Chain A
Amino acid sequence: QKEVEQDPGPLSVPEGAIVSLNCTYSNSAFQYFMWYRQYSRKGPELLMYTYSSGNKEDGRFTAQVDKSSKYISLFIRDSQPSDSATYLCATYFGNEKLTFGTGTRLTIIP
């Protein structure tokens, strides 16, 4: 079993829809949670960074962590074609390495 599981998609939604991306993890020691966005033929870029349980909002993006169920989510409101990318969740604890999910490929249809 992988430490971080992520549905690879692909996921296609119409422009303006709310997008929900999710990951589950197995190690309860994980404390820090991140979402990266990776455009085609580019490297990942950090989108959101949260610590422990709760919500964090940044513009149209909301990251949600539920440590009791080991579940992390990224919501995108009013989705735009420019949001089309692969989204990777990542997590770590202490000084341990970042562990990434395999990524979900998202396409926003105009």
Chain B
Amino acid sequence: DSGVTQTPKHLITATGQRVTLRCSPRSGDLSVYWYQQSLDQGLQFLIQYYNGEERAKGNILERFSAQQFPDLHSELNLSSLELGDSALYFCASSVGLAGGGYQETQYFGPGTRLLVL
């Protein structure tokens, strides 16, 4: 168990809908990362937050947004969902030492499996 929790585990929704995925990082970790994993693209970095502030952005669509709250949990919002958004969404956390960036070990949660019908 990595100590990172994600809810829900599974989500089935329809095209055009909006969903919110939730992540609680390991106790004490300040950085949260979101990833999308699909069979053809593999694990793709979406966005990183550090102590409430956006730190880095990857291949995140404009229809997607995220935030990190004062209690350090994070939410990933996916809107105007398309069939191609069906994937596993992982949250990871790391200690987030200043300037640590990606050299730190990231601990992954169990993921949320999203199916868009």
A interface list, Cβ under 8 A from B: 6, 32, 41-46, 49, 88, 90, 92, 94-103
CB–CB B42/A97 < 8 A: no
B45 A44 Cβ-Cβ under 8 A: no
Stretch at the interface among B11-19, B63-71, B74-82, B105-113: B105-113
Chain A neighbourhood of B99, CB < 8 A: 95
- Nearest CB of chain B from residue A6's CB, rounded to whole Å: 8
Q: Is the CB of B105 within 8 A of A44?
A: no
Contacts from B to A (Cβ < 8 Å): 2, 4, 39-45, 48, 56, 58, 90, 92, 99, 101-103, 105-111
What total count of A-B pairs have CB within 8 Å?
52
Return the 6 tightest CB-CB contacts between A and B, nearest first: A43-B108, A102-B42, A95-B101, A100-B43, A97-B45, A44-B108
Q: What's the nearest-Cβ distance from chain B to residue A45, in Å?
A: 7
**Contact among B40, B41, B43 with A44 in the assembled complex (CB-CB below 8 Å):** B43
Please give, as numbers and ranges, the residues of chain B lying within 8 Å of A95 by CB-CB distance. 56, 99, 101-102
Residues on A with C-beta less than 8 A from B92 are 43
A96–B48 Cα distance when bound, in Å, is 11
The complex places the Cα of A102 from the Cα of B99 at a distance, in Å, of 28
